[in-house]
Amino acid sequence: MTDLDEIYPVNTLPALSWALDLYFKAGGKFKDGKTIELIFPVSDHKEMMRKKGTHEIFMFMSKRKLHLKARCDFSKECSFNSERLDASDREAVKLLDWGEADSRTFIKAVRKWIQRLDLDFVTFIRALNTVCDRRVELPLTTKWGRTFKKFDEYRRNKWPEDATPDNREVFLEEVLVRVAFWIQTAHKAKALK
């Protein structure tokens, strides 16, 4: 069974929510009124061993806050369904049934969603870096004994050559993956605030 503390959504989405809050406080550009949803199909709804529908988790912004909602497209009475959850609450994100969500597909989908928001790229990356430092007790020592003074030092470790600000897609995906591992590492080290 998958350890819920190790899956990408549980470690990426709260950090993304924290970064968006900071981004908006810093006056980052955003066109209000945009409703851009991201839908993660995570499992099938089955009855009598037959697929009847799909279980999906919706990610969306409302009033500049990131939210999640689980929905079964077959039955409103399905136990998979949930109320709207605040994505900044890591424990609430962990309670959702992420089932068969693929990590690579998840990161690519989140990256495309962020790009569709048309945020100021530099301000958003700075917001991600800042929340990764603020939400973790520094310096952070990993379970392998390596110590990092700041997230940026961790992020730049073994950084791929093609992940440059000029290649925003690859750059953003790399940052999101590193954010997920940073939050996961901090949780395991009991350094997550």
Assess contact for 44 and 53: CB atoms under 8 A: yes
For residue 139, is the peptide bond before it cis, meaning its omega torsion is within 30 degrees of 0?
A: yes
pTM, two decimals, is 0.92
Does residue 1 surpass a pLDDT of 60? no
CA distance 138 to 49: 49
Confidence of residue 90 (pLDDT cuts 50, 70, 90): very high
DSSP class per residue in 27-78: T----TT----EEEEEEEEEETTEEEEEEEEEEEEETTEEEEEEEESS-TT-
Structure confidence at residue 21 (pLDDT): 97
> In percent, how much of the chain has pLDDT > 70?
97
Q: Could you tell me which of 100, 101, 95 has the C-alpha nearest to residue 83?
A: 95
- Residues with Cβ < 8 Å from 125, sequence gap 6 or more? 172, 175
Structure confidence at residue 119 (pLDDT): 93
Structure confidence at residue 83 (pLDDT): 94
Dig out the tokens for 45 from the structure: 């709804």
Does residue 100 surpass a pLDDT of 70? no
Assess contact for 175 and 155: CB atoms under 8 A: yes
Confidence of residue 94 (pLDDT cuts 50, 70, 90): very high
